[in-house]
Amino acid sequence: LSDVIVIDDSEEYADVEKELIFLGPLAFEKKCLKRILRAAKAYSRPPSEKEAGFILLGSIRQIDGTPVFIVEDQVQLCGMVTPLQVSFDLSDIKKIIEEAEKDHLTIVGVLHTHPRGDAEPSLHDKISWLILQSEIGRAVPLLIYSLNNDKIGMLYIEWQLIDQLIQRLKTRKMSIERIFQKHDLR
Ligand SMILES: [Zn+2]
């Protein structure tokens, strides 16, 4: 799997004409990025700081054969809080995608906050993100916002690699009866 790309201010650039802000494979509408960061910052700030999750909605454009995820809107997720982390319900995400499709929008990313930690996804974050992508059958970027160092961490790998991984995880089933017969264990 590819490395995490942590993006700081020096790596981002704004397309002023289109009002799009490019962050790796994502292109945020200016207003949309401001709206998401406003909410992410507010939920991360003490007292009562908490993890908040968002589904990024928009459209996917192929530019020179590579997908560009245009972020046009967002929906906040209700999470289940455990002492260690917040997890988001996959069926909620699917329902949000269904609702968004009525407005010709699709999922173009997932973002959540790390109020105290770094902008680095945990192993749990990475695994849930892989499950989400295998369920929807395509790749979407994962973003983490950290108030600690005011950074956005991003993780993105091509669908081909995710699909290869899923294929490699196919089980080989062996009959116990046949193993017993072959080795005369009965
Ligand atoms: Zn996390």
Instruction: Name the residue with higher pLDDT: 78 or 69.
Output: 69
Cut 0.85: pTM above it:
no
> Would you state the structure tokens that stand for residue 93, as one six-digit string?
């995400």
Confidence at residue 142, expressed as pLDDT on a 0 to 100 scale? 97
Instruction: List pLDDT tens digits, range 4-34.
Output: 655 555 445 444 445 899 999 999 999 999 9
Measured in Å, residue 125 CA sits from the centre of ligand 1 at: 5
List the one residue out of 141, 161, 160 whose CA is nearest residue 7: 141
Distance in angstroms (rounded) separating the CA atoms of residues 129 and 131: 5
pLDDT over 90 at 100, yes or no: yes
Measured in Å, residue 182 CA sits from the centre of ligand 1 at: 49
Instruction: Name the residue with higher pLDDT: 18 or 66.
Output: 66
10 Å Cβ neighbour count for 28?
A: 27
Q: Give the burial class of 141: count Cβ atoms within 10 A of its Cβ; 0-12 exposed, 13-18 middle, 19 or more buried.
A: buried
Measured in Å, residue 113 CA sits from the centre of ligand 1 at: 7
Instruction: List pLDDT tens digits, range 141-179.
Output: 999 999 988 999 999 999 999 999 999 999 999 999 999
Measured in Å, residue 114 CA sits from the centre of ligand 1 at: 6
Q: How confident is the model at residue 186 (pLDDT cuts 50, 70, 90)?
A: confident
Coil/strand/helix, residue 94:
helix
Mean predicted confidence (pLDDT) in 124-134: 93
Amino acid making up residue 161: L
List the one residue out of 59, 134, 124, 61 whose CA is nearest residue 93: 134
Confidence at residue 65, expressed as pLDDT on a 0 to 100 scale? 86
Task: Report the chain's mean pLDDT, rounded to a whole number.
Answer: 88
Confidence at residue 16, expressed as pLDDT on a 0 to 100 scale? 46
What does R_g of the chain's alpha carbons equal in angstroms?
Answer: 20
Confidence at residue 15, expressed as pLDDT on a 0 to 100 scale? 47
pLDDT over 90 at 108, yes or no: yes
Measured in Å, residue 173 CA sits from the centre of ligand 1 at: 35
Confidence at residue 11, expressed as pLDDT on a 0 to 100 scale? 47
Confidence at residue 53, expressed as pLDDT on a 0 to 100 scale? 92
Measured in Å, residue 178 CA sits from the centre of ligand 1 at: 45
